[in-house]
């Protein structure tokens, strides 16, 4: 008997945010994307048109909805907005730039994944609650038919947690993954394992180089 086709998750980060929030821990700040971000979103939409997308899920935050817009308005499946796909709450780091984090909190901004994991960011979303929230969103997404290709428009932190859950690795391990603006990472859900088949592919960069 042939093995059934795996369900494929396309985990898509939003495009570049407006300049004042670049290199800032935005988290729950409901910012918009930049002019360059709109260019990235258009290139992303062109790339996704080449794929057969069977279902579409998205965070409700502005930067995600604006990234989704060029694709959603061009024959894509109707998006299902899941509030649990919103970005992690960075607590006291919210609104602070990367240099400010070192000055004010004495920590490297590059350690944010580890700090979230160990509870080192005051008033941030607890890692257990974050994991539970994203696991719930994943459970809803995985109700899609077997063999479907499912696009999930969300955030860098959300993609990291999804990868941690799907690959059964600690959240801190995802610090080794690059998840750039308007990037696509693809995970095949197989009966015996989940497998990364594409990581941090950026259509706006690779297809225009």
Kindly report, residue by residue over 4-37, the tens digit of the pLDDT. 789 999 999 999 999 999 999 999 999 999 999 9
pTM listed for this prediction: 0.95
Domains in the chain, number: 1
* 91 domain-assigned: yes
Domain with 88 in it: what CATH number? 3.40.50.1240
* 86 domain-assigned: yes
* 152 domain-assigned: no
* 39 domain-assigned: yes
* 207 domain-assigned: no
End-to-end CA distance of the chain: 43
Helices (H), ranges, the chain: 35-48, 62-72, 98-105, 112-118, 127-141, 156-167, 203-206
* 111 domain-assigned: yes
Domain that holds residue 37: 7-147
* 162 domain-assigned: no
**Mean local confidence (pLDDT), 137-141:** 97
């Amino acid at each position: 008997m042939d093995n059934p086709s795996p369900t494929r998750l396309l985990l898509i980060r939003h495009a570049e945010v407006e300049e004042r929030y670049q290199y800032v821990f935005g988290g729950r700040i409901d910012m918009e994307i930049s002019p360059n971000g709109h260019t990235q979103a258009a290139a992303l939409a062109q790339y996704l048109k080449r794929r057969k997308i069977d279902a579409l899920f998205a965070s409700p935050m502005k930067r995600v909805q604006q990234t989704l817009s060029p694709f959603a308005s061009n024959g894509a499946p109707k998006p299902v907005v899941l509030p649990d796909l919103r970005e992690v709450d960075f607590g006291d780091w919210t609104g602070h730039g990367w240099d400010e984090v070192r000055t004010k909190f004495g920590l490297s901004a590059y350690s944010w994944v580890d700090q979230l994991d160990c509870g080192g960011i005051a008033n941030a979303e607890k890692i257990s609650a974050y994991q539970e929230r994203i696991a719930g969103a994943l459970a809803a997404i995985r109700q899609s038919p077997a063999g479907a290709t499912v696009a999930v428009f969300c955030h860098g932190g959300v993609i990291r947690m999804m990868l941690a859950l799907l690959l059964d690795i600690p959240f801190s391990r995802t610090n080794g993954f690059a998840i750039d603006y308007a990037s696509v990472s693809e995970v095949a859900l197989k009966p015996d394992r989940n497998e990364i088949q594409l990581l941090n592919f950026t259509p706006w960069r690779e297809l225009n180089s």
